[in-house]
Structure 1
Amino acid sequence: MKYYIIAGERSGDLHGSNLIKELRKKDPDAEIRGWGGDMMQEAGMDLVRHYQDMAFMGFAEVIKNLRRIFGYLKEAKADIANYKPDVVILVDYAGFNMRIAKFAKSKGLKVFYYISPKVWAWNQGRAHKIKKVVDRMFVIMPFEKDFYKRFDYDVDYIGNPVSDSVTDHVPNPDFRTKNKLYNSKPIVAILPGSRAQEIENMLDVMLSVLPSFRDFQFVVAGVSTFGKEYYEQYNKDKNIKIVYDQTYDLLSHSVAALVTSGTATLETALFNVPQVVCYKTSKISYTIGKWVIKVPYISLVNLIAGKQVVTELIQDDFTGKQVTAELKSILFDKHFIKKQKDGYALVREKIGECRTAERAAELMVEYLKG
């Protein structure tokens, strides 16, 4: 069968690549084309356009780049129409992919959605539209199945791919030596995000707290797509190290972490590393977001737990002073650390154990053949 897959960011590239590997096992004759990144391409997808071309973060940034986005939509629609796939599989990335879903459905194509748009966070009425244009929805958050039930829409909970990735990871015992890190100093992981806008909004403040923690080494999780020259502008202290494409190894060796809100918050929790969640965007994006978002938390950890497990420092609360205070809590306050790790245990229990990509591929092929 022919599959067309679209992922619009780095995490989608990872999850899409795992799905592609499993689809090829279930359907050895699979032909796969789409939009994504290096990992999806390496898994065997014919890559049309890289997600980095579409990496716009925040409401204001999207509005500024609308002309480019509509150009990409036109390009994707034309390519799908020309390719004539048996199914279009959309990976998160709601603003773009919901428009593709509507188009594909209008052309009589099957539409599967792998990793639901966060309609539960804002404009929940969009669930009605999803029900109309998406044939099968595969969700990865435990609470999403109950959410969609409210709209009389049966979806498949398939576990969480982040849990699978963390479980499968084998830590590199030579991580410190390989990256020339101090053996004598505990590591505080700095996860500033994978988009340029995130990194530029977050990293300076995250690293500004370093003078208060001289007994620790701060290690930044860099992504190689930006290159070493890009990160070196932040490397202003001998206690700062930057490692590239080794986030899981970094978390495996860390005693605490400062994490930009996103998938990385859940990854950090599943590695059982105490964390402070941080987030800052442009004033206009934040104002719009605060107005439309209807959930009490922004981090996946707190959303899955259904209560506050990790501290969230958002926008004006994200200051060097506040980060310093919260980092001290997750490094030195044993009661605080235990409470957070107990919350992590609840998150793991709610997620459950499931081979997410394998289960998704199995169901997808079954639905297509049925």
Structure 2
Amino acid sequence: MRILVSAGEPSGDQRGAEVISRLQNTEAFGMGGPALAASGMELTADMSEYAVMGFAEVVSSLPSFLKLEKKLAEEAVRRKADCILLVDYPGFNMRLGRRLKRAGFPVIQYVAPQMWAWGSWRVGKLKRSCDLLMTLFRFEEDFFRTRGVNASFTGHPLRDRISGNLRPGTALGLLPGSRAQEVGRLLPEMIEAFRLLREKGTIRTAMLAVSDHLDRKFYAIAEREPGVTLVNSTGEVLRNSAAALVCSGTATLETALYKVPFTVCYRTSAITYAMAERLVRGVDCIGMANIVAGTQVAPELIQNEATAENMAASTEKLLKNTSEITGKLELVRTELGPPDAAGQAAKRITTFLRERNET
């Protein structure tokens, strides 16, 4: 089976590699990075050449992306691809998918765009760009199916990598995010919260997860604080934590899977927050763990509520109700689906193509 793959970001590169490695008798080619290359895929385009950040960079790079779209489409035709696998990266992949679907190729999108949070009007475009959508979250399958998209829930790979924190630690875990703005806004409040808890004797040590992508200067306030240990492993932090303060995002899923009681914290600029309030619809929570569980398994402190005093008070409350909270956190593992998400996705691809060929 010949598969054209398009993955434009590190997370998509990893997700794609996990699936490709589980497909048998497969010749994969297309755009990806080191993980897909290691899985045996032939890189006809290196995703690192198309990494752009800001609006200005995106606009100036449009000619390059149009050429890339044309190149990959022509490659699919020339090599007679049996299937197109688009991994995340919706801004580019939806255009490529629509083009190749029109040309008669079966197109599969792996990892759903977060249209359930904002931009639900784009569902029609997604439907026109793929024949099958494989989702990481159970609730996404229902969301897209009710809107006419052929969606199938195959599970989240995090579930396979984290078995749970069987021996709760004693430290306060600090996960302020991996972006400079997140760390800059949250870390000072988190450190002050730890200081308040330490002075009361509630918590004596803290462990901070640092990002390799950020300059060490962003963590200077933590390096000066007695009792704080800096490590570059989220898993190590959570394995040693009794409770945690966690920036909204995938880290909330990891924390829930380790069964560490935590508080979701998030701060952004006033302008960005005002825009988000207008654009984001259909979700009552900001923490991914809460969204996945369908109920609040972790308290949330957003924007002006994300103060050191509130973080400390929330942590004290969590530590008094650990047993009850860890039971709730098990909901997240259940909602992330069965084990072996990559294997489930590979089976779904095989079944989809067989059924398509039989009709």
> 1:48: which partner in 2?
46
CA contact (8 A) 2:184 2:218 kept: no
Q: Which amino acid aligns with 1:156?
A: S
Decide which moves more: 148-157 or 84-93. 84-93
Distance 1:249 1:309 in 2: 22
Within the alignment, does 1:186 sit opposite 2:186 as a pair? no
* Matched-pair contact (CA < 8 Å) for 2:265–2:302: yes
Identify which of 232, 244, 254 aligns with 2:241: 254
For residue 196 of structure 2, the aligned residue among 182, 189, 212 is 212
Partner SS for 1:209 = helix
Provide the residue aligned with 2:22 in structure 1: 22
What amino acid does structure 2 have at the position aligned with 1:315?
Q
1:284 is matched with 271
Larger mean Cα displacement after TM superposition, 289-298 or 99-108: 99-108
Distance across 1 between alignment mates of 2:27 and 2:143: 33
TM-score by length of 2: 0.83
Report the 3-state secondary structure (helix = DSSP H, G, I; strand = E; otherwise coil) of the residue aligned with 2:155: coil
Q: Is the 8 A contact 2:257 2:329 kept in 1?
A: yes
**Number of residue pairs matched?**
342
Q: Match for 1:345 among 310, 330, 337? A: 330
1:310 positional shift = 0.9
Which among 298, 303, 316 is matched to residue 304 of structure 2?
316
Task: Report the structure number with the largest CA radius of gyration.
Answer: 2
Correspondence 1:79-118 to 2 at 5 A: 79-84=71-76, 86=81, 87-118=83-114
SS of 1:208's equivalent in the other structure is helix
CA–CA separation in structure 1 for the residues paired with 2:326 and 2:49: 34
Q: Is the 8 A contact 2:162 2:258 kept in 1?
A: yes
Asked whether the 8 Å contact 2:297–2:325 carries over to 1, the reply is yes
Distance, in Å, in 1 between the alignment partners of 2:305 and 2:64 is 36
1:364 corresponds, among 344, 349, 353, to 349
Identity across matched positions, percent:
29
Aligned equivalent of 2:153? 157
What is the TM-score normalised by the length of structure 1?
0.80
- The alignment status of 1:263 with 2:250, answered yes or no, reads yes
Rate the CA distance shift 1:255–1:96 in 2: closer, same or farther, 3 A.
farther
Q: Distance in 1 between matches of 2:213 and 2:269?
A: 24
- Contact between 2:6 and 2:93, CA under 8 Å: does it hold in 1? no
2:179 — aligned with what? Answer: 195
- Asked whether the equivalents of residues 141 and 159 of structure 1 are also in contact (C-alpha less than 8 Å), the reply is yes
Q: Which residue of 2 aligns with 1:3?
A: 4
Displacement of 1:108 in angstroms is 4.5
Secondary structure at the residue paired with 2:144? helix
Structure 2: tracts of 5 or more residues without a match: none
CA distance in 2, matches of 1:68, 1:204: 36
Q: 1:286 to 1:108 in 2, by over 3 A?
A: farther
Alpha carbons of 1:205 and 1:338: their partners in 2 closer, same or farther (altered >3 Å)? same
Q: Which moved more, 1:41-50 or 1:307-316?
A: 41-50
**8 A contact 2:30–2:72 mirrored in 1:** no
User: 1:76 maps to what in 2?
Assistant: 68
Q: Does the CA contact (< 8 Å) of 1:7 and 1:90 recur in 2?
A: no
Q: 2:227 is matched with which residue?
A: 239
- Contact 2:20/2:28 (CA < 8 Å) preserved in 1? no
Aligned to 2:318: 330
Structure 2 residue aligned with 1:303: 291
> Counterpart of 2:136 in structure 1: which amino acid?
I
CA contact (8 A) 2:84 2:106 kept: yes
By how many angstroms is 1:360 displaced?
Answer: 0.7
- Match status 1:143 vs 2:139: yes
Give CA deviations for 1:297-322 in whole Å, capped at 9, x if unaligned: 11222112222221111222222222
* 1:67 corresponds to 2:45: no
Whether contact under 8 Å (1:4, 1:80) holds in the other structure is no
Over aligned residue pairs, what C-alpha RMSD do you find? 3.0
**SS where residue 313 of structure 1 aligns?**
strand
CA distance in 2, matches of 1:77, 1:189: 43
Q: Quick one: which amino acid aligns to residue 293 of structure 1?
A: V
Q: Which moved more, 1:312-321 or 1:69-78?
A: 69-78
**Within 2, Cα distance between the matches of 1:105 and 1:308?**
40
For 1:350, the aligned partner's letter is E
What is the CA–CA distance in structure 1 between the aligned matches of 2:14 and 2:215, rounded to whole Å? 20
